[in-house]
A = this chain, B = another copy of it.
Amino acid sequence: MKNLPAPAVVDFGRLRVACSSCSLRELCLPAGLEAREMEKIDRLVNQRRRVRKGEHLYRAGAPLAALYAIRSGFMKSCVLYEDGREQVAGFHMMGDLLGMDAIGGGRHMSDTVALEDCEVCEIPFPVLQRLSREVPSLQHQLHRVMSREIVRDYGVMLLLGSMKAEERLAAFLLNLSQRFSARGYSPTEFNLRMTRQEIGSYLGLKLETVSRSFSAFQEQKLIKVRQRHVCILDLAGLRAMLGPPR
């Protein structure tokens, strides 16, 4: 939550940002827009913001000011009880759009925290509303993104409601793999940005169980893990963990 320490060279806040020249435009909110429409969209993002590891992008209860698109870095969102229990509701990476939980009530309903230094594009919500009226395909795109979030949540329910520990972890790894792949990174080798505890919270398991499942997969030669570094050795085998075992 601190300000920039010493605007090293570039002041991101002032930097002119344009979706039309962003390398993530095919993954992010403007995906699928035509060049003509993209121009109008460039007014959408008024500034970038840095979020340092451990800092909050927003907290539950904070009024909705903007939605955020991740430019770089990794984040988690959590929902909390009154009594302090915390449940990780999702992990987010570049191209993901955050903050949609706040549209309904005008206040954020989750905490979103950077798991490593991040850079996000700030999209003032009123601007987004106005522009999406003017640019029908932006409107449609926004609806698509929200809808996909709903579908993603259904997937998590399925996972939490009917899968057992190792299935959950396999699904988690495959999901990460697929998302890294879609962003041009290796689908089989990556670094986890979250702790075993955070993975466990997301999967509805204790950290020990997560750790044991990792070890079991390694035993079966499905993956190779060392701390946060994961290598998927047998993608098909990992997929097979999901279906058959009733």
| Interface size, chain A (Cβ < 8 Å) | 49
Q: Residue A139 at the B interface, CB < 8 A?
A: yes
Q: Which 10 A-B pairs have the closest CB atoms?
A: A153-B153, A104-B147, A103-B147, A160-B160, A161-B204, A104-B148, A146-B146, A87-B158, A87-B161, A104-B144
Interface string of A131-173 (1 = CB under 8 A from B): 0110010011011111111110111111011100000000000
Residues of chain B with a CB closer than 8 A to A153's CB: 150, 153-154, 156-157
Q: Residue A37 at the B interface, CB < 8 A?
A: no
A157 touches B160 (CB 8 A): yes
Segment at the interface with B among A13-21, A77-85, A113-121, A228-236: A77-85
Complex Cα spacing A144 to B89, Å: 20
Residues of chain B with a CB closer than 8 A to A82's CB: 243
Interface string of A69-100 (1 = CB under 8 A from B): 00000000001011101110100000000001
Q: With A104-B143, A129-B140 given, name 10 new contacts (CB 8 A).
A: A81-B158, A87-B162, A101-B151, A103-B144, A104-B145, A105-B148, A109-B154, A146-B147, A149-B150, A160-B204
Q: Residue A244 at the B interface, CB < 8 A?
A: yes
Complex Cα spacing A86 to B163, Å: 11
